[in-house]
Amino acid sequence: MMDFGKVAVLMGGASAEREVSLMSGSGVLKALRSKGVDAHAFDPAERDLSDLKREGFARCFIALHGRLGEDGTVQGALELLGIPYTGSGVMASAISMDKVMTKRIWLSEGIPTPRYQLLRRGAYDRRQIIEVPDALGLPIIVKPAREGSSIGVTKVAGYSGMVAAVESAGKLNDDILCEECIEGDEVTCPVLGQDDGAYALPVIRIVAPEGNYDYQNKYFTDSTQYLVPANLPAGEEEAIQALVVKAYRVLGCRGWGRIDVMIDRVTRKPYLLEINTSPGMTGHSLVPMSAKAAGISYEDLCVRLLEHTALDAGVPA
């Protein structure tokens, strides 16, 4: 194993996903220490990032989720400090955190993603909100454009629910994404590596209570089923793996990520929903689950990610 030096596990932070980040970071910290890594917890919401340089940290494992941790801001600060970090760089992180920008790039590359309309807070009225289902159909998914962990997401079954759903998402973000609802199998697929070396881990099929894979069912219940092997029809898993690797590469991601996919139950066509560039590492999280199915333990996964810490700017000064 490499000599990693003093490692900071960045966890907590100030986003709406702070609670999940603390769970992820605690798991990573324990795993790295079990492997003999000189790892320490570091919460950017409670300490200044300049302490990382002053206290001699050589690398950072980013276990932050959401805004101010997964959106390129912390990555940019670490670039200035010259401290290599896990995961994608500044641009890829910023684009991937924005679901609309991600969709625009995927669509330009011929990667299938559900149809959508963007509403900007303060730039629409009630009539425009009600008209969105006319274009996209019902049911419809309404969510903040830059949040994760299904926070602020509403599945709207009828016109009467649109205004409340948009208002709920608008409390979290100025940009509200209204998305065509693809009914069918919900799957997710992690990717490790970079460029031509990027590769997909096994696909996981998610079976949530009443099909509702929300924040509660993601992290705080044992009712959701995670099927790996996913037991999809012949050839579908391989096709999805190839598609998510392409989607990961065109965004310029590195290190690791996880892409969520819906498979239309009638056509069996996969539609990519979004990418997570700092995925969860909790007891319910999907990347460690998929890695385990590929023969990679949680501890070895953490070390492998740490081995690929990098800077956009190259070798630190």
Q: Above 90 in pLDDT, residue 302?
A: yes
Q: Which residue has the higher pLDDT, 272 or 173?
A: 272
Question: Does residue 82 carry a catalytic annotation?
Answer: no
Q: Above 80 in pLDDT, residue 209?
A: no
Task: Determine what percent of the chain falls in helix, strand and coil, rounding each to the nearest 5.
Answer: 35, 20, 40
Partners of 8 in the β-ladder: 40, 60
Selecting among 43, 274, 278, 285, the annotated active-site residue is: 274
Selecting among 21, 276, 278, 285, the annotated active-site residue is: 276
Q: Above 80 in pLDDT, residue 111?
A: yes
Q: H or E segment at 163?
A: helix 162-170
Q: What is the pLDDT of residues 24-44, one digit of tens each?
A: 999 999 999 999 999 999 999
Per-residue model confidence (pLDDT) at position 305: 97
Cβ atoms within 10 A of the Cβ of 267, count? 10
Return the structure tokens found at 259: 């892409």
Question: Does residue 179 carry a catalytic annotation?
Answer: no
Contact between 69 and 62 under an 8 Å Cβ cutoff? The reply is: yes
Per-residue model confidence (pLDDT) at position 232: 96
Distance of alpha carbon 9 from alpha carbon 54, whole angstroms: 16
Q: Above 50 in pLDDT, residue 5?
A: yes
Per-residue model confidence (pLDDT) at position 317: 41
Among 311, 316, 233, 256, residue whose Cα is nearest residue 76: 311
Per-residue model confidence (pLDDT) at position 151: 81
Give the confidence band of 283 by pLDDT, cuts at 50, 70, 90.
confident
Q: Above 90 in pLDDT, residue 178?
A: yes
| Residue recorded with tokens 């950017």 | 44
What does the pLDDT average to over 201-209? Answer: 92
Selecting among 67, 205, 254, 258, the annotated active-site residue is: 258
* Max mean pLDDT range (4-13, 62-71, 143-152): 4-13
The answer, yes or no, to whether the previous bond of 144 is cis (omega within 30 of 0) is no
Q: What is the pLDDT of residues 242-274, one digit of tens each?
A: 999 999 999 999 999 999 999 999 999 999 999
End-to-end Cα distance, the chain: 24
233 CB-contact burial (10 Å; exposed 0-12 / middle 13-18 / buried 19+): exposed
What does the pLDDT average to over 188-214? Answer: 88
Q: Above 80 in pLDDT, residue 211?
A: no
Question: Does residue 298 carry a catalytic annotation?
Answer: no
Selecting among 79, 185, 260, 299, the annotated active-site residue is: 260
Q: Above 60 in pLDDT, residue 316?
A: no
What does the pLDDT average to over 40-63? Answer: 98
Question: Does residue 280 carry a catalytic annotation?
Answer: yes
Mean pLDDT rounded to a whole number for the chain: 93
Question: Does residue 274 carry a catalytic annotation?
Answer: yes
Selecting among 254, 280, 285, 298, the annotated active-site residue is: 280
Q: Above 70 in pLDDT, residue 67?
A: yes
Query: Domains of the chain, with CATH numbers?
Result: 6-86 (3.40.50.20), 95-112+182-304 (3.30.470.20), 116-180 (3.30.1490.20)
Per-residue model confidence (pLDDT) at position 173: 87
Selecting among 21, 88, 93, 149, the annotated active-site residue is: 149
Per-residue model confidence (pLDDT) at position 2: 77
Question: Does residue 258 carry a catalytic annotation?
Answer: yes
